[in-house]
Amino acid sequence: MSILTYKPEREGRLATELEEYIRSGIRRGELKPGQRLGSAKQLAKYWKTSYGAVRQSLETLAAKGLVERRARAGTFVASDTETAGVESDARHIIGLLVPDIRIPEYAQVTRALQDAGQKAGFEILVSSTDNDRARYDQSVLRHLKAGVGGLVLVSPQQARISLQTLVEIENSGVPIVNYARTVDVVTWPTVQTDVYQAVYLPIRHLCELGRRQIAFLSYPAPDAYGMQMHYALYRAAAEAGLNASNIIELTLPDNFYLKSWSDTGSLFQMLNDWLDENPKVDAVCCMHDHIATTMLNVLSQRGARVPEDVAVTGHGGCADFFGIAPGELTSVDTRLDLAAAEMVRLLQTGGEPTNGDAPAVVCIQPQLTIGRSTVKDFKPVPSAQGT
């Protein structure tokens, strides 16, 4: 494993991700004692972040005894990481398995869980499985063998954990929490955003602004989620006196979502062509900030005014990953801080009581953060921090 082979595309929070990537590599044994990681300048170049941020991360790791920094030679994995900063009791480690950490929302989940875990005395061991089910299953089994104190599972996109792995997890007795997607054949608790509110809030907001030709853009969703989304969509519209003719739906291929961290060109063209076919649209509700930020770019190139001509909302609170300045995009904040705290609590307590064979589902209430993509003269309330 080379630390220079993984290159996120966006700046911001990358120093923290780099630190966790090195930590996880050492714990899994993929980064060997004495292995050279490269200089701070090399890492900054490959990770596309500042030299100062990388240096700070390396100094933090060095202070914990995980790496050694040698003048004019670079940074190396410490020769004895088992006794230098690595918790020997794996029960104080929570494993987090995500399909692909390069997708912004999973990077955000990682950071939120790290913060919540630290407060509860846990370290977070992250495994990014490239959305490959076989690799995902292997990572789960390695975590179980190591005796971790709990697992947070984000299932692979368009795939399920194998039955054999499910049996292994059940037999292990390790506490499990699913994030976002439930696994219907087991009773592990799931923490997810309230899907109904995530759709209802932005649609109601657009209706209150007087928008009458509203587009709803989303990625394919499981049947249960899809039903909730459609119910919220049409209920919010009906409450505003609109009917089905006022709503235009577009379901985008999953491949755009899986490449949301790097590829916007093909999505740009698709949305541009779609607007040619739907010229009367005056509002677009997007179920991912990736879609919303691409739509903003399309509208800008077409000379459309936002929000005067077309209002746009997103979902996820990760517009900064795609170069959108704070306060510009109205977006649904999924409150990952609350979700992460709930996941840690569930792992500590062994999960909530279930109703028969039905798993417990904890729904986190989202919030709509207003920006200038729907309210032109909107001015965010200054943060109270530091005052």
Q: Quick check: 293 and 329 in contact, CB under 8 A?
A: yes
- Percent pLDDT > 90 in the chain is 43
Mean pLDDT of the chain: 84
pLDDT score at 355: 53
**Rounded CA separation 333/221 (Å):** 19
How many CB atoms are closer than 10 A to CB 375? 14
Question: Could you tell me the domains of the chain?
Answer: 3-77 (1.10.10.10), 90-193+340-349+356-364 (3.40.50.2300), 195-334 (3.40.50.2300)
Tell me whether strands 214-218 and 283-286 are parallel, antiparallel or unpaired: parallel
Q: What is the CA angle 331-223-366, rounded to 5?
A: 25
Low-confidence winner among 56-65, 172-181, 322-331 (lowest mean pLDDT): 56-65
pLDDT at 81 over 60: no
pLDDT classification of 87: cutoffs 50, 70, 90: very low
Q: Which pLDDT tens digit goes with each residue over 98-138?
A: 988 888 888 899 999 999 999 998 999 999 888 888 888 89
Q: Which pLDDT tens digit goes with each residue over 53-76?
A: 788 778 778 877 788 888 777 888
pLDDT score at 193: 94
Q: Respond yes or no on whether the N-terminal peptide bond of residue 307 is cis (omega within 30° of 0).
A: yes
- The average pLDDT across 265-283 equals 94
Low-confidence winner among 77-81, 210-214, 326-330 (lowest mean pLDDT): 77-81
- The average pLDDT across 167-194 equals 86
pLDDT at 188 over 50: yes
Question: Which of 145, 2, 135 lies closest to 74, judged by CA?
Answer: 2
pLDDT score at 53: 77
Low-confidence winner among 36-40, 78-82, 113-117, 269-273 (lowest mean pLDDT): 78-82
**Rounded CA separation 213/387 (Å):** 43
Pick 194 or 85 by higher pLDDT. 194
**Rounded CA separation 315/324 (Å):** 13
pLDDT classification of 302: cutoffs 50, 70, 90: very high
Question: Which of 274, 239, 267, 243 lies closest to 253, judged by CA?
Answer: 267
Q: Which pLDDT tens digit goes with each residue over 208-232?
A: 999 999 999 999 887 778 899 999 9
pLDDT at 23 over 60: yes
- The average pLDDT across 320-325 equals 88
